Every structure is written in C-alpha cells, then in structure tokens.
C-alpha cells in the first residue's frame, strides 16, 4: 500500500515558516508583503480560487487587495489597472485570475505585469530565467510538486521522471525545473508525454516518478505503472461522485510506493507557493536579496 503524500500537511509546515519570515520582515525592515488579485467576471471556480488566496494572505499577515471587475470590462481598462499596480509600492505580487473573458487577450494581459511582480511566473522573462536555471520566481504548482518530493525525501537525482501533460502552467515548467543540473530536488532524466505520444504506457512504465497533469480522469491506470513508482497527481476533475484526479487512485495506490491524494495533495501547495513568491518579491523590492 502506498504512502500518502499529504500536501495539506506539508503546506501547513511551509505556512508556519512563512509566518515567521513575514513577522521578521515587519519587525526588522518594516515591510509587509502585498498581493493584488484581479478577478474579471463571475466564474464560480475562479471566485473560489481567489477567495482561498485571500484567506491565505490574511492567515499569514500578507497585505491583500482583491479587485473584482465586471465581465464586460474592456482590455484597455484592465491593462491600465495592471500598470497602476505595477507602480504601487504596497503591492509586490500581481495575480490575474484565469480564464479571462474571451474578448480580452490573455497573453497581452500577462505580458503587461511587471516581471518582478509576476508571482505566477507566467511572464516570458520569468519563463526564460527558469529555462536558464536562474529564476526569480518558480511557477506555483510545479514549485509545490518539487517541494512535495523534497520534503517527502524522494530522490530526484538521476531518477527517471515522466510528466504526462505539456501545459505552460504545469508540464513544461516542471520538466524544466527537474532537469536543472545544480539545483536541489532536480538533476533528473525527464520524459514528457502528451496527446501525440504513440505509446504512453511504454514511457509511464519506466517512471520512477510519474507526474500527471493531463486534465482527464483516470488517464493513468495500474497497468501503466511499475511497482514502487512515486505518483504526483495534479488533476482536479469534478464528477458526480466528487473530486478525482487524473490517476485511477484506487488501482495505482496498490503498486505505488507513494502517491498524492485528490483533494489534499498538490492543490494546497499551489496556494502556499504563491504566498512564498509574494514574500520573495517583497524581499527583492527591498534589496534584501539579489
């Protein structure tokens, strides 16, 4: 039976570390990290996500501004708001909740955020720094995955890692993070599988560590993994029976050495890494780190 990798428990540990760091920033440097979240429209899932981020800020002592805009907000007004936040010294992180209404160009909006306040790490400057192995910020979900592996004592150095999914949010960045040579929790051999992969099982059966972000329930079944694999399930799919991941949990857990549950696995780590990036940005803006 697999060990459960409980992101909810590890996130609590990191939150306590951040609380101490934020307290020290206030006492020693009179700095309060600040995060602005922008929500355009009434998407219910987005409201839940933004609410969870607000709650985390309050819990940790991070200054939070939530800006709700109607769905018919025009692109130029949104860009003007971002420019205003770029210049606001109280704000160290800017997050535009996705998806945006169809009449707004997502790429243009993300590119408008100051790279030094881009705590989602979506700006091409931050993507490029990640590729080079010199990131200011690590993207939140991949960073959460890496922390789960490191804090659970799972060795990545020399490991065969297979990533299922090639999104800009999870698949591509986690692959780039895990192949870095001189960084902790990396130096792995990484294979990326996707919808164009001819024989996915051939690759997934080789994995020492399998990271699944396919966006489809039960993409990975027990027959597709080897004994002793470590499985990180990034998927969140809402079915009538409740939330499930992209992995057939009941089948795969019988073969895996360790596996993340859904919910309570990767999800809580994403939010706490956003908080970590906001603190990182506050320290950068104060000149406390390079």
How confident is the model over 246-275, as pLDDT tens digits?
999 999 999 999 999 999 999 999 999 999
Helices 140-151 and 267-285: crossing angle, nearest 10°? Answer: 110
Residue 8 has a pLDDT of 96
Q: Does domain 140-266 have CATH number 2.60.40.1120?
A: no
Q: Which residue from 106, 148, 177, 110 is spatially nearest to 267, judged by alpha carbons?
A: 148
CA distance 67 to 41: 11
C-alpha to C-alpha distance for 19 and 4, rounded to whole angstroms: 26
* Average pLDDT score over the chain: 96
Q: Up-side HSE of residue 55: CA atoms within 13 Å toward CB? A: 8
Looking at residue 243, its pLDDT comes to: 86
The tens digit of pLDDT for each residue in 8-42 reads: 999 999 999 999 999 999 999 999 999 999 999 98
Residue % of the chain over a pLDDT of 90: 92
Say if CB 94 and CB 114 are below 8 A apart.
yes
| pLDDT for the residue 43 | 84
Per-residue pLDDT band at 45 (split at 50, 70, 90): confident
CA separation for the pair 225, 231 (Å, rounded): 9
- List where CATH 3.40.50.10860 sits in the chain: 30-115+124-129
Structure tokens at 73: 């907000």
Q: What residue has token string 């499930």? A: 244
Distance CA 289, CA 181 (A): 23
Question: pLDDT confidence of 290, banded at 50, 70, 90?
Answer: low
Instruction: For residue 224, name the pLDDT band (cuts at 50, 70, 90).
Output: very high
pLDDT tens figures, 84-104:
999 999 999 999 999 999 999
pLDDT score, position 242 = 84
Res. 71: pLDDT tops 80: yes
pLDDT on residue 289:
87
DSSP state of 119: T
Q: Is the pLDDT of residue 1 over 90?
A: no
Looking at 123-266, list the stretches that DSSP marks H as alpha helix, in order from N- to C-terminal side.
124-132, 140-151, 171-179, 200-204, 249-252
SS3 assignment, position 222: helix
Alpha-carbon gap, residue 275 to 3, rounded angstroms:
27
Residue 81 in this model has a pLDDT that exceeds 90: yes
Contacts of 179 (CB under 8 A, 6+ apart): 186, 187, 188, 189, 190
Helix ranges (H only) for the chain are 7-29, 44-60, 75-86, 106-112, 124-132, 140-151, 171-179, 200-204, 249-252, 267-285
Q: How far apart are the first and last CA of the chain?
A: 45
pTM of the model: 0.95
Whether domain 30-115+124-129 has CATH 3.50.50.60: the reply is: no
Looking at the annotation, which residues are catalytic? Answer: 53, 97, 120
Residues of the chain with CATH 3.40.50.720: 140-266
- Would you say residue 44 has pLDDT above 90? no
């Amino acid at each position: 039976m697999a060990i459960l990798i409980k992101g909810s428990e590890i996130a609590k540990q990191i939150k306590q570390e951040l609380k101490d760091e934020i307290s020290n920033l206030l006492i020693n440097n009179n700095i309060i990290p600040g995060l602005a979240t922008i929500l355009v429209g009434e998407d219910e899932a987005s409201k839940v996500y933004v609410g969870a981020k607000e709650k985390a800020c309050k819990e940790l002592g991070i200054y939070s501004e939530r800006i709700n805009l109607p769905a018919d907000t025009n692109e130029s007004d949104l860009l003007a708001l971002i420019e205003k936040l770029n210049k606001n010294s109280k704000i160290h992180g800017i997050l535009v909740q996705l998806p945006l209404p169809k009449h707004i160009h997502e790429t243009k909006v993300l590119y408008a955020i100051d790279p030094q306040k881009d705590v989602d790490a979506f700006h091409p400057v931050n993507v490029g720094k990640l590729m080079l192995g010199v990131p200011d910020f690590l993207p939140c979900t991949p960073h959460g995955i890496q922390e789960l592996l490191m804090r659970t004592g799972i060795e990545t150095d020399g490991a065969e890692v297979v990533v299922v999914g090639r999104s800009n949010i999870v698949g591509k960045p986690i692959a780039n993070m895990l192949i870095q040579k001189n960084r902790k929790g990396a130096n792995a051999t990484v294979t990326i599988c996707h919808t164009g992969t001819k024989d996915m099982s051939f690759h997934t059966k080789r994995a020492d560590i399998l990271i699944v972000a396919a966006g489809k329930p039960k993409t990975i079944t027990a027959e597709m993994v080897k004994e002793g694999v470590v499985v990180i399930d990034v998927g969140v799919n809402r079915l009538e029976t409740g939330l499930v991941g992209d992995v057939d949990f009941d089948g795969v857990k019988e073969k895996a050495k360790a596996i993340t549950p859904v919910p309570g696995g990767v999800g809580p780590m994403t939010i706490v890494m956003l908080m970590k990036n906001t603190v990182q940005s506050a320290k950068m803006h104060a000149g406390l780190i390079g």
